[in-house]
Structure 1
Amino acid sequence: MKILFAEDDVILRKHITYLLTHAGYKVTTAKDGAEALDAASAEPFDIIILDWLMPQTPGIEVCQKLRVSGNTAGIMLLTARDASEDIITGLDAGADDYLVKPFKSDVLLARIRALGRRKEKLIVETLTCGKLTLHMQQRTLHKDGEIIELTKNEFSLLSYFMQNSNHVLTREQITAYVWDFEQDVSSNALDALIKLVRKKIDEPNSSYIQTVRGVGYKMQVI
Structure 2
Amino acid sequence: MTTTAHILLVEDEVKLARFVELELSSEGYQISVAHDGIAGLTLARESSPDLAILDWMLPGLPGLELCRRLRATGNKLPVILLTAKDEVSDRVAGLDAGADDYVVKPFSIEELLARVRAHLRRTQEPNLDILQFEELTLNRKTREVKRKERAVDLTAKEFDLLEYLLNHPRQVYTRDQILENVWGYDFMGDSNIIEVYVRYLRLKLEANNEKRLIHTVRGVGYVLRE
TM-score with structure 2 setting the length: 0.54
Match for residue 17 of structure 1 among 15, 21, 24: 21
> 1:5 maps to which residue?
9
The alpha carbon displacement at 1:76 in A equals 0.5
> 2:95 maps to which residue?
91
The alpha carbon displacement at 1:124 in A equals 5.7
Gaps of 5+ in 2: 131-140, 142-226
3-state SS of the aligned residue for 2:53? strand
The alpha carbon displacement at 1:121 in A equals 4.0
> 2:41 maps to which residue?
37
The alpha carbon displacement at 1:9 in A equals 0.4
C-alpha RMSD over aligned residues = 1.7
The alpha carbon displacement at 1:119 in A equals 1.7
The alpha carbon displacement at 1:120 in A equals 2.5
The alpha carbon displacement at 1:21 in A equals 0.4
> 2:51 maps to which residue?
47
The alpha carbon displacement at 1:85 in A equals 0.9
Does 2:112 correspond to 1:108?
yes
Does 2:77 correspond to 1:66?
no
> 1:119 maps to which residue?
123
TM-score with structure 1 setting the length: 0.55
Aligned AA (2:89): E
3-state SS of the aligned residue for 1:116? helix
Gaps of 5+ in 1: 127-134, 136-222
* % identity of equivalent residues: 43
Distance of 1:18 and 1:101 partners within structure 2: 18
Q: How many residues align?
A: 127
Does 2:83 correspond to 1:79?
yes
